[in-house]
Structure 1
Amino acid sequence: MVTQRRQAVSTVAFIDNYCQHYYSVFEDVRHFESFKFLHLGMLSEMARKSLPEIAKMAGLKDNQTLHHFLRDALWDVRRLREIRLWLTKMFIGEREIILCIDETGDQKKGKSTDYVTRQYIGNLGKTENGIVSVNAYGVVDGITYPLMFQIFKPKNRLKEGDKYKSKPQIAVEIIQELKEWGFKIKLVLADSLYGESGDVINWLEKLQLEFIVAIRSNHGVLMPPGSRKRYNRWKAYEQKLSHRQTETRYLREIIFGQRRRLRYYQISKTNTPDPTGDESWYIMTNLSIELSLNIAQLYSLRNWIEYGFKQVKSELGWADFRLTDYESIERWWEIIFCAYLLVSIQATFFQLHAQSSPTSTSEASSSTDSDSNISQHSQHPNWESGTTWKSALNNLRLIIQPYIFYCLIRSWLTVFNIPGMKRCFLKLINFMNDFRTDPVSFSLAS
């Protein structure tokens, strides 16, 4: 006799709808529920996303459930990644992406965690004890999408069966795999670690990809005998910054003998003849566009994206794992990328909603049910009308609040019988479930 698989416990409708795309990864319904609970916790307002706190917030009686799910449960993280990338590809469609390659690191105490050692942590700008990964993320219409990550395995921490790969080698593998997935890459942005790597540059050119990469101030260029290096005039432009007001920056082209296919530029905060190192950057590009200021604006996206990714890390709990084996850490990071994608997709949906929002009462009466529901939810005083990833996360956090609060106080309702309180909470949760946007399904259907 075949036992029918029971229905998974519901959380909040928009999370349940999104997670349903990954249902086939988990043979045990309890594992699928843990997957959903982790999404709930990662999207929550908790500053530290520890597993015990997520379990408490989700109303789980056993706080070891989530730890077991990450460390011992039988499910394939590669299959999860494949579905996430497939969803991303289907949702983005034929639109081109700007691909950013960057490494990110986090401090960790001791050496009990796999691949933790003293090494350079780029986002800290110094050598510390920590763990580092090489990450790839794309930008489409101003929204950042997570794509791939690979752990960097230092030589002194290699385990049996490991093969050492430098960060540039990992970056090449990621770019090749994304091309195999069929992502249409418009432009690649990377810092000097990759700009100074001949392997990375050679592969980008072999794949016929345009790029803008940082280079060191002492970057070497072969020049014919008798030729000289010259600097063009500074050109001013307004630099938009993701977290500060616009600044005036300056750019000039550096020509080694004569112009070549690869072009070199200096960007500075000042237009003095020789700006100091802290105020000056050097970039190399194979872009064919003639307007040099476009080069500066495009390259500036790298810093904007990098800042955005740091925000994502801090908001979703990238470094909050209390796990020591890499297989479990990889699962944690992959689920964070899934939650990251959920917010990116909803941010795009909010963009479309903002563009099509009715401007009059008569127009509002003819709006769709989905638009009407969002309009009602948007009356919350803390709802943000912006169309950024961060504003989307803020709004999603408002949607999940009633469910989380109910889970936290449910035990008290068994102690103090307050007539109607449970019923009112569940009614409010049902209102939140009216927010049932599933842009992925909409995209696939269209």
Structure 2
Amino acid sequence: MAMSRIAGRFARIEPRLRAGRLALGLLSDLPRKNCWTIAEWAGEKTPHGMQHLLCRASWDADAVRDDVREYVVEHLYDEAAVLVVDETGDVKKGTRTVGVQRQYTGTAGRIENSQVAVYLVYAGARGHAAVDRELYVPRSWTADPQRCQAAGLGEDTAFVTKPEVARVMIERFLDAGHRIDWVTGDEVYGGNPKLRAALEERGMGYVLAVACSAEVDTKAGKFHADALAAKLPKRARQKLSAGRGAKGHRFYD
């Protein structure tokens, strides 16, 4: 994306130019990417400028987010595109990074001291890219106003679940004037009835995973999801590819 598209979101030229170098650094083949390594890659003697850009410089990050969303939809537009919601984590040391705590992160595949964010991805035949993001702030933080204030969060920061964060991002996408028919996500989101109800209210279809113990209402009564699936004959199933992976097509029944 041309930096000229987001140039107006920066109050000064210095952070705008540095933002360009930061973006190129993030796209580089650096094995590890942080303010130190990207600053060195960009020819800067210290990481202070990159840290200033991310922590104190005057620029509208939410407006840049909206610019990125419009750019993605413009270049990857597909009438059959879907929205994918998922979270990812960054393993961290210490306790001062906003939202950090010991929690499961797919990045490590286990419980680690980490910071987790929820992402919304636009996916179609021409490719896929993130169009929104929100940091997940655990209860261990929102229950401690002084800790929130010290980290730059408001004292009144309220706890919001990951499915609620997903709902906010999906509605932000729709309210920007974009049409989408389907949302997909894993069990974290499929197990939340409020998110499913919100999608239904907006007339959206969804394919969201649920736990095998989730109860499903049928005309014959309630059944656990795994028991209901087991009652289906083999001819009721269809094997489809969810796309190519590192080991070939990823088939699902």
| TM surpasses 0.5 | yes
Amino acid in structure 2 at the alignment position of 1:194:
Y
Structure 2 CA distance for aligned equivalents of residues 226 and 110 of structure 1: 50
Q: Deviations over 1:266-324 (max 9, x none)?
A: xxxxxxxxxxxxxxxxxxxxxxxxxxxxxxxxxxxxxxxxxxxxxxxxxxxxxxxxxxx
Q: Which residue of 2 aligns with 1:213?
A: 208
Q: Which residue of 1 aligns with 2:234?
A: 233
Give the direction of change, closer, same or farther, for the CA distance of 1:49–1:113 in structure 2 (3 Å limit): same
Structure with bigger strand share is 2
Give the direction of change, closer, same or farther, for the CA distance of 1:208–1:112 in structure 2 (3 Å limit): same
Q: Which structure is larger by alpha-carbon Rg, 1 or 2?
A: 1
Q: Which residue of 2 aligns with 1:242?
A: 245
How many residues are matched? 234
Structure 2 CA distance for aligned equivalents of residues 206 and 245 of structure 1: 37
Give the direction of change, closer, same or farther, for the CA distance of 1:109–1:204 in structure 2 (3 Å limit): same
Give the direction of change, closer, same or farther, for the CA distance of 1:45–1:225 in structure 2 (3 Å limit): closer
Is the CA contact (8 Å cut-off) linking 1:107 and 1:128 kept in structure 2? Answer: yes
Matched, 1:72 2:38: no
Alignment equivalent of 2:68, drawn from 76, 84, 87: 84
Alignment equivalent of 1:41, drawn from 25, 47, 64: 25
Instruction: Give secondary structure in 1 for the equivalent of 2:165.
Output: helix
Structure 2 CA distance for aligned equivalents of residues 29 and 123 of structure 1: 35
CA shift at 1:144, angstroms? 0.7
Amino acid in structure 1 at the alignment position of 2:120:
A
Percent sequence identity is 24
Instruction: Give secondary structure in 2 for the equivalent of 1:218.
Output: coil
Q: Deviations over 1:49-105 (max 9, x none)?
A: 232332232223454222222222111212222222233344445744211011112
Ranges in structure 1 where 5+ consecutive residues have no aligned partner: 1-14, 252-446
Structure 2 CA distance for aligned equivalents of residues 191 and 123 of structure 1: 16
Give the direction of change, closer, same or farther, for the CA distance of 1:151–1:44 in structure 2 (3 Å limit): same
Structure with bigger helix share is 1
Q: Which residue of 1 aligns with 2:145?
A: none
Matched, 1:50 2:34: yes
Give the direction of change, closer, same or farther, for the CA distance of 1:174–1:44 in structure 2 (3 Å limit): same
Matched, 1:31 2:15: yes
Give the direction of change, closer, same or farther, for the CA distance of 1:156–1:247 in structure 2 (3 Å limit): closer
Is the CA contact (8 Å cut-off) linking 1:100 and 1:189 kept in structure 2? Answer: yes
Q: Which residue of 2 aligns with 1:190?
A: 185
Structure 2 CA distance for aligned equivalents of residues 86 and 246 of structure 1: 31
Structure 2 CA distance for aligned equivalents of residues 62 and 123 of structure 1: 28
After TM superposition, the structure 1 = structure 2 runs for residues 326-341 of structure 1, keeping only pairs within 5 Å, are none
Structure 2 CA distance for aligned equivalents of residues 225 and 94 of structure 1: 39
Q: Deviations over 1:104-126 (max 9, x none)?
A: 12221221211101223245443
CA shift at 1:225, angstroms? 6.0
Matched, 1:132 2:87: no
Q: Deviations over 1:372-420 (max 9, x none)?
A: xxxxxxxxxxxxxxxxxxxxxxxxxxxxxxxxxxxxxxxxxxxxxxxxx
Alignment equivalent of 2:197, drawn from 202, 206, 221: 202
CA shift at 1:45, angstroms? 1.4
Q: Which residue of 2 aligns with 1:164?
A: 159
CA shift at 1:30, angstroms? 1.1
Q: Which moved more, 1:186-195 or 1:50-59?
A: 50-59
Structure 2 CA distance for aligned equivalents of residues 247 and 51 of structure 1: 36
Amino acid in structure 2 at the alignment position of 1:237:
K
Amino acid in structure 1 at the alignment position of 2:246:
H
Structure 2 CA distance for aligned equivalents of residues 223 and 56 of structure 1: 61
Amino acid in structure 1 at the alignment position of 2:191:
E
Amino acid in structure 2 at the alignment position of 1:196:
G
CA shift at 1:128, angstroms? 2.1
Q: Deviations over 1:322-357 (max 9, x none)?
A: xxxxxxxxxxxxxxxxxxxxxxxxxxxxxxxxxxxx
Is the CA contact (8 Å cut-off) linking 1:238 and 1:246 kept in structure 2? Answer: no
Is the CA contact (8 Å cut-off) linking 2:91 and 2:108 kept in structure 1? Answer: no
Is the CA contact (8 Å cut-off) linking 1:51 and 1:67 kept in structure 2? Answer: yes
Give the direction of change, closer, same or farther, for the CA distance of 1:248–1:172 in structure 2 (3 Å limit): closer
Indicate the RMSD between aligned Cα atoms, in angstroms.
Answer: 2.4
CA shift at 1:232, angstroms? 1.8
Structure 1 CA distance for aligned equivalents of residues 239 and 219 of structure 2: 33
Instruction: Give secondary structure in 2 for the equivalent of 1:241.
Output: strand
Structure 1 CA distance for aligned equivalents of residues 138 and 22 of structure 2: 29
Amino acid in structure 1 at the alignment position of 2:43:
G
- Select the structure with the greater relative contact order (CA < 8 A; seq sep ≥ 6): 1
Matched, 1:121 2:123: no
Give the direction of change, closer, same or farther, for the CA distance of 1:226–1:131 in structure 2 (3 Å limit): closer
Q: Which residue of 2 aligns with 1:150?
A: 134
Structure 2 CA distance for aligned equivalents of residues 141 and 222 of structure 1: 35
Q: Which residue of 2 aligns with 1:431?
A: none
Is the CA contact (8 Å cut-off) linking 1:99 and 1:136 kept in structure 2? Answer: yes
Structure 1 CA distance for aligned equivalents of residues 25 and 139 of structure 2: 35
Instruction: Give secondary structure in 2 for the equivalent of 1:215.
Output: coil
